[in-house]
C-alpha cells in the first residue's frame, strides 16, 4: 500500500532513481507539499497545490506539471497503491531538475517525484494529555513562507527538542514567536485565539488556514498578530497544527504547565471541527 512516482512513471519505493546530479539532492533546490487523505479524499488538495506553485514561483522554478495534472496523478497514484478509500499521505517534491552541478540555473526541465503511503497515526494519548514544547532561537532564513527543501535548521531544532524530552521546538525571532519546527502555533486567552500573522517569517499552513476559518465559523474571536514567548506561556490554552498532526494540544512549556495543565475546550472544539471538515 505504498508507491512512488518519478517524472511520469509509477515505481516501487525502493527503486533507485535519483541521479547524482539531481538539484534537490545536491542543493536542496526545490519545493514540496504533503497532503493528508481522509477515506480516499485529499483534504484541501487544491490549496496545497496552489501553495506548491507559489513556492515554485518564489524560487523561479517552472513546474513540469500543472495543478490539474498533479491532481490526476494523485488520484491515479492512490488507486494504484491500493489506498482508494483509505487514510493516506501524498508527498510531492519538485526540483530544478538534473544537470551538472553549478550554482546558476540549468536549462533543463524540472523534476517531480511523489510518494503514496498509509497515513501516520498520532497516538491517542497525545491528544488526551497534550504534548510538551521548548523554545528555540529562530536561525532560519528570511523566507519561511516558501515550502522549500532546505529544512536543516528545522531538523536540528526538532531533534534537540526530542533529545531533551520535548515533542516540538517553537521558534522565536527578535523577541516574537514565529512557528514550530514543523508546525504553526496558537495561544488561547480569555476565549480569543491568537496566532502569528502570515508574513514571510512563517509557513502559511494549510491546516492553519482551516483552523482560522473554522474558528470564525464557530464564533471564536481570532487575532493574527505577533506575540512574545511570555504571552505564549501565559495562555489559557496552547496548541500546534500541521497536516499530519491536525490540531494537537500543548500542556507544558519547558516543564511549566499551560493553563490547568490539561487540553483546553477550544483546542478540542477546533480539532473536532478540522476532522469533521476533512471527512465530510
User: Could you state, in order of their start, the residue ranges of all structural domains in the chain?
Assistant: 3-118, 124-279
Selected catalytic residue, list 16, 39, 57, 147: 147
In CATH terms, the fold of domain 3-118 is D-amino Acid Aminotransferase; Chain A, domain 1 (3.30.470)
- Residue with C-alpha cell 531538475? 97
216's CB contacts (< 8 A; 6+ apart) are: 222
Q: Is 54 known to be catalytic?
A: no
Q: What share of the chain is helix, strand, coil (3-state, %, to 5)?
A: 30, 30, 40
In CATH terms, the fold of domain 124-279 is D-amino Acid Aminotransferase; Chain A, domain 2 (3.20.10)
The pTM of the whole model exceeds 0.85: yes
- Residue with C-alpha cell 507544558? 252
For 204-262, write each residue's pLDDT tens digit: 999 999 999 999 999 999 999 999 999 999 999 999 999 999 999 999 999 999 999 99
For 30-79, write each residue's pLDDT tens digit: 999 999 999 999 999 999 999 999 999 999 999 999 999 999 999 999 99
Separation between Cα atoms, residue 204 and residue 224, nearest integer Å: 12
Amino acid at each position: 500500500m505504498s508507491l512512488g512516482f518519478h517524472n511520469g512513471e509509477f515505481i516501487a519505493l525502493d527503486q533507485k532513481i535519483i541521479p547524482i546530479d539531481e538539484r534537490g539532492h545536491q542543493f536542496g533546490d526545490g519545493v514540496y507539499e504533503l497532503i493528508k487523505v481522509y477515506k480516499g479524499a485529499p483534504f484541501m488538495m487544491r490549496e496545497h497545490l496552489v501553495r506548491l506553485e507559489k513556492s515554485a514561483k518564489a524560487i523561479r522554478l517552472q513546474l513540469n506539471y500543472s495543478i490539474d495534472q498533479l491532481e490526476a496523478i494523485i488520484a491515479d497514484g492512490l488507486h494504484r497503491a491500493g489506498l482508494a478509500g483509505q487514510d493516506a499521505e501524498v508527498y510531492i517534491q519538485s526540483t530544478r531538475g538534473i544537470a551538472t552541478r553549478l550554482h546558476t540555473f540549468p536549462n533543463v526541465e524540472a523534476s517531480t517525484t511523489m510518494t503514496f503511503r498509509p497515513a501516520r497515526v498520532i497516538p491517542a494519548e497525545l491528544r488526551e494529555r497534550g504534548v510538551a514544547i521548548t523554545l528555540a532561537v529562530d536561525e532560519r532564513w528570511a523566507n519561511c513562507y516558501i515550502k522549500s527543501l532546505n529544512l536543516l535548521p528545522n531538523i536540528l531544532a526538532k531533534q534537540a527538542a526530542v533529545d531533551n524530552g520535548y515533542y516540538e521546538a517553537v521558534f522565536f525571532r527578535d523577541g516574537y514567536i514565529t512557528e514550530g519546527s514543523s508546525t504553526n502555533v496558537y495561544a488561547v486567552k480569555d476565549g480569543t485565539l491568537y496566532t502569528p500573522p502570515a508574513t514571510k517569517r512563517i509557513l502559511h499552513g494549510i491546516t492553519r488556514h482551516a483552523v482560522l476559518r473554522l474558528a470564525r465559523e464557530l464564533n471564536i474571536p481570532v487575532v493574527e498578530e505577533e506575540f512574545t514567548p511570555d504571552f505564549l506561556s501565559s495562555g489559557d490554552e496552547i496548541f500546534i497544527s500541521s497536516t499530519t498532526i491536525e490540531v494537537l494540544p500543548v500542556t507544558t512549556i519547558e516543564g511549566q504547565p499551560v493553563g490547568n495543565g490539561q487540553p483546553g475546550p477550544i483546542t478540542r472544539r477546533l480539532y473536532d471541527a478540522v476532522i469533521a471538515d476533512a471527512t465530510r
